[in-house]
Structure 1
Amino acid sequence: MKKSLKVTDILALGFMTFAFFLGAGNIIFPPQAGQLAGENLVPAMLGFLSTGVSLPLIAIIAVAVAGGWEGMTKDLPSRVATFLAVMIFIVIGPAFAAPRAGLVAYEMGVKPFIADAGQLSLTIFSIVFFAIALFLSRSRGNLVDMVGKFLTPILFVALIMLAVSVVINPQDAIEAAKGDYIDMPFIKGFVEGYNTLDAVAALLFGMVIVDAVRSKGVSDEAATRKYLVMAGLIAAAGLAFVYISLFYLGATSVNIAAGASNGGDILAIYVAALFGPAGQIMLSLIVLLACLTTVVGLISACSEYFSSLTRWSYEKWVVLLSVTCCVVANVGLNQLIVLSLPALFALYPIAMALVILTFIRKWLPNPQMSYRVVMIVALSFSMIDAAKVSGFDVSAFRVLPLFDYGMAWLMPTFVALVITCFVGAKKAAAQQASQTA
């Protein structure tokens, strides 16, 4: 058995990881955030990079440290851990993230070239798009070669061309910040990073990356963890490059894209101004490849996990999930984004709490108690934020710090973590004393 990977294999693994993360939200949300941030571009961008780059990287490292999802959740009741994983997989898979990626691919990559685009064209595109994703997802052993060595380099070259053009020839001057970006740009950027879903997906993409490493003949656990971290570092560098360039694009689009309703429109208008008709083709290529590689990663991760829970094979789950994504995608992009927001605000705090607990577990006097209390608090207060974005009146909780910025969960979760450290220490000491006696 091969014990190590060649440099080209490591790069391909990193590019595959980068491609899995770089999807719909990564492309359409940074331009709008950059436009609204204006002169507060840097703090807003740093906030976005925290949830869009740093957290996914830290999550991948946490997966490596814990040895997978089971290691991360071993201090939770097994049924709770399984239920949490299933919910995350449903959200990042057939319910929201994967169909959203397909819809963005259609809206930005295909629809502009269709004169009378309607439901029929969306349905036909969905069938073709998810059929291709199904084919790529079924070939697990060749996933690194197909995605990391072929699709991603093309995608990355296109992104480099766009980034260089934006820096050399910005279309507008950077103007004043707007809305929440005036007073708290970092916090607003931090919350906007939720839209990428990457920190949540990173907890589960690790399974696909580990499987890809092992398919190359690496069986040693320490080596597998090392390559997992290396892949995360390469992916984080690529994501940071993309976000910084798209933030700057948005910040220099105030006048040229003044009437744009979302980040996708800003990007399309900007690219058309830079490159003319050829720019639309380049943008279509970027979006189609980015969304396709992300969908392949999502379907692969979901199928890998669900096949481990059931008697169904990986291949059967790939077919079922691909068909489900195709059906859900026909709901429409706007409706799907609205529906996904509550799920994002509910899941992100849980994912962040789990990652933090993983890193500090060895210092916790009573890990089981800490995990259960902290996760319950994170879930409870994240539901307040989820209810708020859903339109429910939760003004009674306005006394909570950062409530207005969608982070009401942060301080209660931190306090719960600190309390369980001390309370757990006393309980652990008492148990140790009784055992000694």
Structure 2
Amino acid sequence: MKTRLTWRETGFIGTMLFGLFFGAGNLIFPIYLGQQAGSHVWAAILGLLLTGIGLPLLGVTGMGLTRSAGVFDLASKVNRPFAYAFTILLYLTLGPFFAVPRLATTSFQIGIVPFVSTGAQPVTLAIFSVIFFFIAWLLARHPGKLMTYIGKWLTPLFLGLLAIIMGAALLHPLGPISGAAHGAYATSPVLSGFTEGYNTMDALAALAFGIVVIDSIRALGVTDSRQIAQDTIKAGTISMVLMGVIYTLLALIGTMSLGHFAPAANGGVTLAQIAHYYFGTWGNVLLALLVIIACLKTAIGLISAFGDTMHDLFPRIPYNVLTGLAALLPCLFANVGLTRLITYSTPVLMFLYPLAIALIVLAVLSPLLGTSRWLFGFTILFTLLPAIGSAAGSLPTSWQATGWCQAILTANAHLPFAANGFSWAVPALAGVVLGWILARLHGERA
């Protein structure tokens, strides 16, 4: 047993956590932001970092401050039924029913499709997804070794490949940091960047990956809960600083690309153009490797986190059976029915997101406000209704036209900041105040 991690070990875990967070989406959207923001890119980056970095860092910090063993432990501060429902929904949507199958299809679309004829794509996708998820499952079978697989192998390889593209773009820029801003970035770049970072939903991933970090620290011999909390916060800070630097550089590269390319529909198109501009056909190969590795390491982390958490909730089901399901189901979904699955999974994510942020804020403020059930219970209760409104706004159009859905959307629209997607903020704050007062009246620490 050891008392604390060395800085080298903390660095490896921080690198691992960065690798878990940084998927293909995190690679693509800062470039799109840079193109859209144009000369306002610095203001947009500021907004992006506040939420795209701030919320995940708060999530990891909150797990550490409350010394929670995972999402279920943190959510149990509301009550156990809520903890079961929230944890299961979170890991099903971030795992086999939404995020994990998208990792395979995204890496296939960006990395493989340019090299495959249209007619051969269905068969190639089937073969690719089987190989992709077999490797992910194989490496997820031993959660204590994720620091080695992701922190020491895959993430350094990913960063090396990314450095080649970013180095070329920064040393021989396509244009100046200028250009016209588009859409909302022209009038409110900070708010637009803030919303873009919020919409990454990386705060959910921070909760989901908390158990992976904690398991990795324990595997290195640290068992004291206080020290695990401190090492978790240190690793989280390292990962978020690294992510912030890369977000900033990618956004600047996106802006500079306007000197040579027109604004694209998404950052993936621009990234492919940049890679091909500097390296020709080899640029396509480089981008394929970059995206596949980005998606693979995140898939490994999500499969492992799903298996670990579900095994804690249902101990009779072996960990390897759960990780097998978490790899097999996405493999099937990636080939059939993914579009429909996303249609129904997105409202669940939009429902969970405000609840997750409320839990994170309460966790971070726990040294000041305490962890009273009154406080956690009323905050979540008051966040619940606008969370339902957020989910309703993400339902298919045919569902939104129904009377009950229209009633929910109308009520939600009257809440402050609803137009910006933050209708939950004021009710959640009211829940914090009321819960704090009730905790004080009942003599609990607040």
- CA distance in 2 between partners of 1:85 and 1:270 (Å): 40
Check conservation: 1:92, 1:197, Cα contact below 8 A: no
Show structure 1 runs of 5+ residues with no match: 433-437
Q: 1:388 to 1:21 in 2, by over 3 A?
A: same
Aligned to 1:133: 136
What amino acid does structure 2 have at the position aligned with 1:299?
A: I
> 1:158 — aligned with what?
161
Once residues 46 and 6 of structure 2 are traced to their aligned partners in structure 1, the CA distance between those partners, rounded to angstroms, is: 34
1:275 aligns with 2:279: yes
Q: Does 1:100 align with 2:98?
A: no
**Structure 2 contact 24–106 (Cα < 8 Å) conserved:** yes
Cα deviation, 1:337-383, whole Å, max 9, x if unaligned, reads 65554344322221111011112235448822221221122231133
Q: What runs of 5+ residues in structure 2 fail to find an aligned partner?
A: 401-405
Q: Which letter maps to 2:22?
A: L
Q: 2: CA distance between counterparts of 1:16 and 1:384?
A: 35
CA separation in 1, counterparts of 2:325 and 2:89? 17
1:74 to partner: Cα distance = 3.5
Structure 1 counterpart of 2:403: none
Contact kept in structure 2, 1:134 and 1:319, CA below 8 Å: yes
Q: Please give the alpha-carbon distance, in whole angstroms, between the structure 2 residues aligned to 1:337 and 1:166.
A: 34
Residues 215 and 296 of structure 1: CA distance in aligned 2, closer, same or farther (over 3 Å): same
Instruction: State the SS of the aligned residue for 2:365.
Output: helix
- Determine the structure 1 residue equivalent to 2:442: 428
- Given candidates 186, 209, 228, the residue that maps to 1:205 is 209
Q: CA RMSD in A?
A: 2.4
Q: Which aligned pairs between 1:240-259 and structure 2 lie closer than 5 A? A: 240-254=244-258, 256-258=260-262
Shift of 1:257: 4.1
Give the one of 101, 107, 123 matched to 2:126. Answer: 123
> Secondary structure of 2:95's partner?
helix
Give the 3-state SS of the residue equivalent to 1:258 in structure 2: coil
Q: Which amino acid aligns with 1:409?
A: W
The C-alpha deviation readout for 1:199-222, integer Å capped at 9, x for no partner, is 111112111111111112222222
Q: Answer with 168-177 or 290-299: which moved more.
A: 168-177
- State whether residues 381 and 431 of structure 2, in contact with CA within 8 Å, keep that contact through their aligned partners in structure 1: no
Structure 1, 391-400 or 411-420: larger mean CA deviation: 391-400
Aligned equivalents of 2:270 and 2:365: distance in 1? 42
Shift of 1:142: 2.0
Structure 1 residue 130: deviation in Å? Answer: 0.3
Q: 1:404 aligns with which of 419, 434, 441?
A: 419
Matching residue of 1:35? 35
Distance 1:182 1:234, change over 3 A: same
Q: Which moved more, 1:271-280 or 1:178-187?
A: 178-187
Q: Cα deviations across residues 168-192 of structure 1 (Å, max 9, x unaligned)?
A: 2332443222222233322322222
Contact 1:25–1:195, Cα closer than 8 Å, also in 2: no
Q: Aligned pair in 2 of structure 1 residues 201, 366: CA closer, same or farther (>3 Å)?
A: closer
- Shift of residue 47, structure 1, vs aligned partner: 2.1
Amino acid of the structure 1 residue aligned with 2:163 = I
Question: Which of 91, 98, 111 pairs up with 1:109?
Answer: 111
Corresponding residue of 2:57:
57
Deviation at 1:126, TM superposition (A): 0.5
How many residue pairs get aligned? The number is 430
- Contact 1:366–1:424 (Cα < 8 Å) also in 2: no
Of the three residues 260, 266, 284, the one matched with 1:262 is 266
Secondary structure of 2:223's counterpart equals: coil
Q: 1:178 to 1:396 in 2, by over 3 A?
A: farther
Label 1:30 to 1:357 Cα distance change in 2 as closer, same or farther (>3 A). Answer: same
Q: Between 35-44 and 278-287, report the one with greater CA deviation.
A: 35-44
2:214 and 2:228 in contact (8 A); partners too: yes
